[in-house]
Amino acid sequence: MTTFESRNPAHPSSIVGTFAVADAAAVDDAVRRATGAQRAWAQVPVPARAEIIGSIGDVLASRKADLARLVTLEAGKILVEAGGDVQEAVDMAGFIAGQGRAAWGTTHPCEMPNKFGFTTRHPVGVVGMITPWNFPVAIPSWKIFPALLAGNGVVIKPSELAPACCDAFVEACVAAGVPADLVNVVHGFGDVGAAITTHPGVRAISFTGSVPTGRRVAAAAMEVGPKLVSLELGGKNAAIVMDDADLDLVVEGALFGAFGTSGQRCTSTSRLVVHRAVADELVERITARATALRVGDPMDATTDVGPVITAESAARIHGMVERAIDEGNTLVMGGHAVEPSECEGGSFYTPTLLRGAHRDSYIARNEVFGPVLAVLEVESFDDAIETVNDCEYGLSSAIYTHDVNLAMQAVHRLDTGIVYVNAPTIGAEIHLPFGGNKHTGNGYREAGTRGLEQFSETKSVYIDYSGRLQKAQIDNREALS
Ligand code: UN1
């Protein structure tokens, strides 16, 4: 049996857990168990499924401190943000539990007399899920809870960088009453994801990760499908700062948006699109505050910025910063890896501010997934909107202004799935749809009421109680001669 270890990114010599790599037989077995359990689960009334999901929320809440510690240990998030990760799953459980007693479709009058139409949801069967390490509790909850509410079975492969978090999450589901075999975790690397994606018993794939992997997942699923495929991919999120913005608020938002979670959220702010009139002052103020951020052990309550996930990640981030400098950006602060004394061998990157990026430079167009913020200066509101939209991603954006007209125009014109006004690009709440435009996704949204769409088939039902054959589009029209 092949195994792999998950390690603490702040202390890489410390092993969080050892996991068996699932081979083809193990994936097969997981799909078979999910298929069997799903048949019975689909017979459970939706409100009863919802009650179990509500109980998962209670179990997660009661274990919040321990789960948050595990998130910190395995994913390197500072403790307070790890708590947020778990809380997001608790919130999701409450929301989805409520959905179990909400409308399950729509009703429609029909064009013929004594006939009525409605829609209802039907489970898709077994859903395959591939999830990232950066929200190792929240993201499985966004996928698993709606999938279960809709009556499905699940096979999930979490990132090999945060397997213990997923195991702990699924353990909480089982402790709350989710039937054994309904949710199956398989561990491993890309080939395990591929085995799930191409398995004939898996009808839908829900993937969160990078654009290149997402493309491969979708292509493989279609090759053996068609299957339902929902993709949540990268972001290159920008916050616009107009010349009337409250700069105190911008500084707070930029620090949290860009350097929170060490910049490793798909919603992290990585471009600050600033009106030229306030650029000097803003850069100075962000630098003053960011220099004071404490980079260190995420378990320590005084730490602001924890590690990045791996040494490879730190090297990749550094490569992007070097390239940005080569392309004419000014390095205002940071720009190097650090190793805090208490975290031997850990991979940390200092909060980094670059200035002078032009729209075509690599740093302005590509996701960093690290604590790096590029400042782009603009002359006007139109210039700002065009700059933000001139990018292949479309997840999250923000505008800081007091001008309500500009704020609303930005809401309409920014080509992203999420827009914030006077708030950073991170921090979405689970009862609103989450997802993005352009290469960020393929049209689905997670969370909110739309979160159920990727996990259910819509069934349109017509009831004819006239007792005779009625021909729509024909009987109620004049005969053609
Ligand atoms: C992610 O980074 O993949 O909006 C999810 C946010 C969080 C979710 C981020 N609620 O920042």
| Domain ranges within the chain, ordered by starting residue | 3-233+441-461, 237-421
Confidence of residue 470 (pLDDT cuts 50, 70, 90): very high
Q: Which atom of ligand 1 is nearest to the CA of 428?
A: 4
C-alpha 108 – ligand 1 centre gap (Å): 37
pLDDT higher than threshold 90 for residue 64: yes
Give the mean model confidence (pLDDT) for residues 118-131. Answer: 98
Q: Which atom of ligand 1 is nearest to the CA of 396?
A: 4
C-alpha 436 – ligand 1 centre gap (Å): 12
Name which residue sits closest to atom 6 of ligand 1, judged by CA.
Answer: 427
pLDDT higher than threshold 90 for residue 466: yes
C-alpha 43 – ligand 1 centre gap (Å): 33
- Please provide the average confidence, as pLDDT, over all residues in the chain: 97
Q: Which atom of ligand 1 is nearest to the CA of 434?
A: 4
What CA–CA distance (Å, rounded) separates 134 from 324? 25
Q: Is 223 noted as a catalytic residue in this protein?
A: no
- Tell me, what's the pLDDT at 481? 81
pLDDT higher than threshold 90 for residue 277: yes
The catalytic position among 165, 173, 266, 343 is 266
Confidence of residue 228 (pLDDT cuts 50, 70, 90): very high
Superfamily of 3-233+441-461 according to CATH: Aldehyde Dehydrogenase; Chain A, domain 1 (3.40.605.10)
**363, 323 Cβ separation under 8 angstroms:** yes
Task: Please state whether the predicted TM-score (pTM) of the whole model is above 0.95.
Answer: yes
Helix (H) or strand (E) holding 242: none
What CA–CA distance (Å, rounded) separates 469 from 283? 73
Give the mean model confidence (pLDDT) for residues 414-437. Answer: 98
C-alpha 85 – ligand 1 centre gap (Å): 9
What CA–CA distance (Å, rounded) separates 245 from 422? 8
Indicate if 237-421 has the same CATH topology as 3-233+441-461: no
- Tell me, what's the pLDDT at 169? 98
Q: For residue 45, is the peptide bond before it cis, meaning its omega torsion is within 30 degrees of 0?
A: no
What CA–CA distance (Å, rounded) separates 273 from 217? 33
The 10 Å Cβ neighbour count of residue 387 is 20
The 10 Å Cβ neighbour count of residue 116 is 14
What CA–CA distance (Å, rounded) separates 385 from 416? 11
Name which residue sits closest to atom 3 of ligand 1, judged by CA.
Answer: 266
What is the pairing mode between strands 372-378 and 352-355?
Answer: parallel
Q: How far, in Å, are 202, 215, 291, 426 from residue 270 at the CA level?
A: 36, 23, 17, 11
* Substitution candidate for ligand 1 out of 91, 135, 237, 432 with most atoms within 8 A of CB: 135
C-alpha 83 – ligand 1 centre gap (Å): 13
* Substitution candidate for ligand 1 out of 267, 395, 416, 418 with most atoms within 8 A of CB: 267
What CA–CA distance (Å, rounded) separates 463 from 246? 58
DSSP states of 325-345: HHTT-EEEE--SEE--TTSTT
* Substitution candidate for ligand 1 out of 129, 426, 431, 440 with most atoms within 8 A of CB: 426
Q: Which atom of ligand 1 is nearest to the CA of 265?
A: 2
Fold of 237-421: Aldehyde Dehydrogenase; Chain A, domain 2 (3.40.309)
The catalytic position among 232, 367, 446, 453 is 232
- Tell me, what's the pLDDT at 334? 98
Q: What are phi and psi of 452, to 5 degrees?
A: -75, -20
Confidence of residue 1 (pLDDT cuts 50, 70, 90): confident
What CA–CA distance (Å, rounded) separates 375 from 297? 28
Q: Is 391 noted as a catalytic residue in this protein?
A: no
Confidence of residue 480 (pLDDT cuts 50, 70, 90): confident
**329, 338 Cβ separation under 8 angstroms:** no
Q: What is the CA radius of gyration of the chain?
A: 24
C-alpha 134 – ligand 1 centre gap (Å): 9
> The tokens 């410390």 sit on which residue?
14
Q: How far, in Å, are 106, 373, 432, 460 from residue 120 at the CA level?
A: 7, 46, 22, 7
Pocket-forming residues, ligand 1, beta carbon under 6 Å: 88, 134-135, 265-267, 426-428
Confidence of residue 95 (pLDDT cuts 50, 70, 90): very high
What CA–CA distance (Å, rounded) separates 382 from 224? 45
pLDDT higher than threshold 90 for residue 357: no
